[in-house]
Amino acid sequence: MPSRLAVLASGRGSNLQAIIDHFDSLARERVAKVVLVASNRADSPALIRAATASIDIANFNAADDGSELLSLLQTFRIDLVVLAGYLKRIQHKVIREYAGRIINIHPALLPAFGGEGMYGARVHEAVIASGAEESGVTVHLVDDEYDRGPIVAQWRVAVDRADTAESLAARVVNVEHAVYPRAVEMVAVLQQLESKRTD
Ligand code: GRF
């Protein structure tokens, strides 16, 4: 049985699309499938992408103690929660219940250029301002601290002298689209093996 994924997204949802396309392309061989896309923002374009792909969508309150999100995840029997441009902190209640089963992508090489408030263009602006010659992509498990959970995968992206935050962001997000679906797949396989072992 493929792992049941919930993707949480607040924004345009290009990583969501890459994940949907990746698992669709594997058809019967896929180890996971997206069964729910949920957002704290009712106007998130990611929800439109999900609806177009005939995936269930939901809105939840990100300002409560996590009860609403947790009950949504349980209702959909979610195995793995994938954050794709989700900007709020995941409540402790959800992290406790889904320990080791929430995964995030960050558009830089953590632990550098991460932490509260480091998202979107700010990350790439900070990389360029620092004079760093490399940036990249980090996939990590989510714990109670912003951008600090165990790292699952990283990929480097060179910073050109002529880069602006926009041009760097565009190259980084292309790499995200290649790396994230495969990292999600790997975590899903490991999770399936672990749950067989403990059955
Ligand atoms: C990505 O750059 C990701 O690293 C970050 O938020 C952005 C989401 O982009 N967490 P999209 O909504 O998937 O297009």
Per-residue pLDDT of the chain (199 residues; tens, 9 = 90+): 899 999 999 999 999 999 999 999 987 788 999 999 999 999 999 999 999 999 999 999 999 999 999 999 999 999 999 999 998 999 999 999 999 999 999 999 999 999 988 999 999 999 999 999 999 999 999 998 888 899 999 999 999 999 999 999 999 999 999 999 999 999 999 999 988 888 7
Q: Give the number of residues written for the chain.
A: 199
Q: Is 15 in the pocket of ligand 1 (CB under 6 A)?
A: yes
- Measured from the Cα of 87, ligand 1's closest atom is 10
- Measured from the Cα of 86, ligand 1's closest atom is 10
pLDDT at position 106:
97
Q: What distance in angstroms lies between residue 11's CA and the mean position of ligand 1's atoms?
A: 7
Q: Whose CA is nearest to atom 5 of ligand 1?
A: 85
Q: Based on the structure, what is the number of domains in the chain?
A: 1
| Structural domain boundaries, residue 89 | 3-198
Q: Tell me the pTM.
A: 0.96
Check which CATH number belongs to the domain holding 187 and give it.
3.40.50.170
Is 177 an active-site residue? Answer: no
